[in-house]
Amino acid sequence: MAKIDITRTELVWPGKYNEDGTRKEVPRVSLPFQVIETINESRATREAEKQRQPSLFDIWEGKEGETFEDGWKNKLIWGDNLLVMGSLREKFAGKIDLIYIDPPFATGADFSFTTQIGDSDLEITKDQSIIEEKAYRDTWGAGIESYLTMMLERLSLLRELLSDTGSLLVHCDWHVGFLLRCLLEEQFGSDHFLNEIIWYYYNKFQGNVNHFAANHDLIFWYRKGENYYFTPQKEKRLEGKVRQIKRMWDKEKGAIVNVKGPDGKVLYQETDERAVDDVWRISMLQPADRTENVGFPTQKPEAMLRRILEAATSQGALVADFFCGSGTTLAVAEKLGHRWIGCDLSRFAIHTTRKRLLGIKDCKPFEILNLGKYERQYWQGVTFGDKGKSITEQALYEYLAFILKLYGAQPLVGLTHLHGKQGKAMVHIGAADAPVTIDEINAAVAECVQVRQTELHVLGWEWEMGLYDLMVAEAKKQGVRLLLLQIPREVMEQQAVDKGDIQFFELAYLEVDIGRPAKLSMTVTLKDFVIPNTELIPEEVRSKVKKWSDYIDYWAVDWHFQNDTFMQDWVTYRTRKNRKLALTSDPHTYDRKGHYRVLVKVVDIFGNDTSQAFDVEVQ
Ligand SMILES: C[S@@+](CC[C@H](N)C(=O)[O-])C[C@H]1O[C@@H](n2cnc3c(N)ncnc32)[C@H](O)[C@@H]1O
């Protein structure tokens, strides 16, 4: 191995440098974003936007202005922040005013998200109605080196996104605090360090430790450039009012001096406030708290984020959190009137954040984006082929073999549409970068018939819209039991794969009633949410579900779906506080008669989306 030329104090680990002694490059990819949902946007605004930017949907063009008046929409992005930040660079390099991140702390643990099932609230049913889903993983099988590489890559991109007056705040604890500080020094320079804030959570109970309980986290604050925003903060004194000598900063002396009266005597003042220093005594969220606690593991208190944003941003700032979890930073930014961008790779995080923001009074419109097929294409290229280039036959074979293995199936050779076999079922796998089409399913069913097989499982990332129940019925007529299963995003997460956390969910479908309460008006009533083969759902969950609607956590309607982005016009959802779910929408009144496409979207308790379009005639 070539000699590595270390020219300054830095943290090194196996894998930080290439064999030839050069620094490993941070992957900087730029992929197009797709807008998958817009929320709280009025139809009039949307129509106007469409006129202004005809190709806005589904690919995000980023032509909007930088203020709400100029069309800015806040953004919640589902995906790996490495690719997301890389893809944001084109429009946002040097534009973000404050970034707070609360990444995994390398605790070696997995974090679960608890979901209640059904309408009853916590007190009544105790934990009988609760299921646990893995929200995210913080295990680094390949060792702390892989964690450090992950963080160094992200810190480098974060720095590029910050404006010249921007600030980065990195939240961590004793597990990696000492290491992250070194990485931050390397990226930002020790002269750009501002604070090591101690968040002291005095109310966290920790039993069973044979040393002092660890009751604080660390937040490192760095500025990007020479200038930055800081507004000193005040807090109430624990001891109540105190009498103290009045002091002030003397510019000429460059020191703090006592203030004196005309008689030359020191002046005293009474106050119950103190200037906030770098030790923050802010209570940890309590499990029983149902106003702020949304049940997301490692959720941080809003009071802490509020203090950060109030101290380190100016009005109208653009704030981002690329490990947003339950969306605490975004919720606080929203309440303070800032613009925001959030990102997370967990579907529970994105769903929890969406609901949390919706619960904020007068929450401004926001959109949910992802990198969709481009992210999968990139992953496929990097994992099986030649970085991002078009996929070779060998790489395709490896891709199929990988998914088959995760599904517990064996590869098959010599057939065209049937890629594998699991028990007595034949398996077809959809491409990573295209929806599974109805023709594709028909071809696989036909091949099944040809080779005299009676069960077919089709696994796909995306699907040509609708008609699953009809397809299943059609296959049945040909003597084939057809199951359509979703390939989950976690397949692209090494940690989830290593842990065996990959669950393939069957596509569900909806039965609805369209009501016509008055002329030009319409309601949607959910009649059934069908998960075709419930035996695929773990028994511990199935046993807690009493009726079909218990599977539903959230549903929404786009009254005038235009085959592009789902626009949420009406929505209802369960919260920890309010478990009831309306099954009939409010009426919607159309401006004029005509043919409309209504899209109904359900998010179930597993965090999966099911969308179904219904064509309706409005009289
Ligand atoms: C400690 S939690 C953040 C909690 C958040 N501060 C809150 O108040 O709810 C860390 C989050 O980072 C997300 N995460 C981990 N790796 C990620 C990655 N590569 N890209 C995007 N999000 C990631 C996890 O899914 C998790 O939701």
Place of tokens 């998960």: 531
- For the segment 167-184, what is each residue's pLDDT rounded down to a tens digit? 999 999 999 999 999 999
**Nearest CA owner, ligand 1 atom 22:** 344
Q: Is 155 in the pocket of ligand 1 (CB under 6 A)?
A: no
Residue 35 pLDDT exceeds 70: yes
Q: How many CB atoms lie within 10 A of CB 346?
A: 27
One-character DSSP codes across 497-533: HHTT---PEEPPEEEEEEE--STTEEEEEEEEEE-S-
Q: Of 386 and 6, which is predicted with more confidence? A: 6
Residue 303 pLDDT exceeds 60: yes
Candidate of 81, 84, 136 to mutate for ligand 1, largest count of ligand atoms within 8 Å of Cβ: 136
- For the segment 488-530, what is each residue's pLDDT rounded down to a tens digit? 999 999 989 988 889 999 999 999 999 999 999 999 999 999 9
How far is the C-alpha of 218 from the C-alpha of 199, rounded, in Å? 6
Ligand 1 centroid to residue 431 C-alpha, Å:
28
Percent of the chain residues past pLDDT 90, beyond the cut: 72
Q: Is 105 in the pocket of ligand 1 (CB under 6 A)?
A: no
Tell me the pairing of strands 594-604 and 552-558.
Answer: antiparallel
Ligand 1 centroid to residue 618 C-alpha, Å:
44
Residue 121's pLDDT band (boundaries 50, 70, 90)? low
Q: How many residues belong to the chain?
A: 619
Ligand 1 centroid to residue 139 C-alpha, Å:
13
**Which positions ≥6 away from 429 have C-beta within 8 Å?**
400, 403, 404, 419, 420, 458, 459, 460, 487
**Nearest CA owner, ligand 1 atom 19:** 80
How far is the C-alpha of 50 from the C-alpha of 61, rounded, in Å? 12
Percent of the chain residues past pLDDT 70, beyond the cut: 95
Q: Is 296 in the pocket of ligand 1 (CB under 6 A)?
A: yes
Q: Is 328 in the pocket of ligand 1 (CB under 6 A)?
A: yes
Residue 55 pLDDT exceeds 60: no
Nearest atom, ligand 1, residue 300 CA = 8
**Nearest CA owner, ligand 1 atom 2:** 325
Residue 533's pLDDT band (boundaries 50, 70, 90)? confident
Ligand 1 centroid to residue 78 C-alpha, Å:
11
* Among 117-121, 327-331, 351-355, the least confident range: 117-121
Residue 138's pLDDT band (boundaries 50, 70, 90)? confident
Res 564: pLDDT: 85
Mean pLDDT of 109-134: 71
Residue 577's pLDDT band (boundaries 50, 70, 90)? confident
- For the segment 435-490, what is each residue's pLDDT rounded down to a tens digit? 999 999 999 999 999 999 999 999 999 998 767 778 899 999 999 999 999 999 99
Nearest atom, ligand 1, residue 323 CA = 12
Ligand 1 centroid to residue 526 C-alpha, Å:
33
Range picked from 204-218, 286-300, 579-593 for highest mean pLDDT: 579-593
Domain locations in the chain as residue ranges: 34-105+139-229+277-370, 234-275, 375-498, 508-618
Residue 2 pLDDT exceeds 80: no
Q: How many CB atoms lie within 10 A of CB 210?
A: 4
The continuous run of DSSP H or E covering 130 comes out as strand 130-138
Question: Do the beta carbons of residue 17 and residue 27 sit within 8 Å?
Answer: no
Q: Is 349 in the pocket of ligand 1 (CB under 6 A)?
A: yes
Mean pLDDT of the chain: 91
Mean pLDDT of 612-616: 93
Q: Is 136 in the pocket of ligand 1 (CB under 6 A)?
A: yes
Residue 127's pLDDT band (boundaries 50, 70, 90)? low
Ligand 1 centroid to residue 104 C-alpha, Å:
6
**Which positions ≥6 away from 414 have C-beta within 8 Å?**
none
CATH superfamily of 34-105+139-229+277-370: Vaccinia Virus protein VP39 (3.40.50.150)
Q: Residue 315 corresponds to which tokens in the numbers above?
A: 């009005």
- For the segment 364-404, what is each residue's pLDDT rounded down to a tens digit? 999 999 999 999 999 999 999 765 556 788 889 999 999 99
How far is the C-alpha of 36 from the C-alpha of 77, rounded, in Å? 10
Protein fold of 375-498: Trna Endonuclease; Chain: A, domain 1 (3.40.1350)
Residue 124's pLDDT band (boundaries 50, 70, 90)? very low
Written in H, E and C, the secondary structure of 351-364 is HHHHHHHHCCCCCC
Q: Of 21 and 31, which is predicted with more confidence? A: 31
Ligand 1 centroid to residue 102 C-alpha, Å:
7
Please enumerate, as own/partner, the contacts of 559-562 that have beta carbons within 8 Å and a separation of 24 or more. Answer: 559/522, 559/588, 559/590, 559/596, 559/598, 560/43, 560/590, 560/596, 560/597, 560/598, 561/596, 561/597, 561/598, 561/599, 561/613, 562/57, 562/597
Residue 205 pLDDT exceeds 80: no
Per CATH, 375-498 and 508-618 having the same topology is answered: no
Handedness of CA 151, 156, 157, 162 (dihedral sign): positive
Protein fold of 508-618: Immunoglobulin-like (2.60.40)
Question: Do the beta carbons of residue 120 and residue 579 sit within 8 Å?
Answer: yes
Q: Is 104 in the pocket of ligand 1 (CB under 6 A)?
A: yes
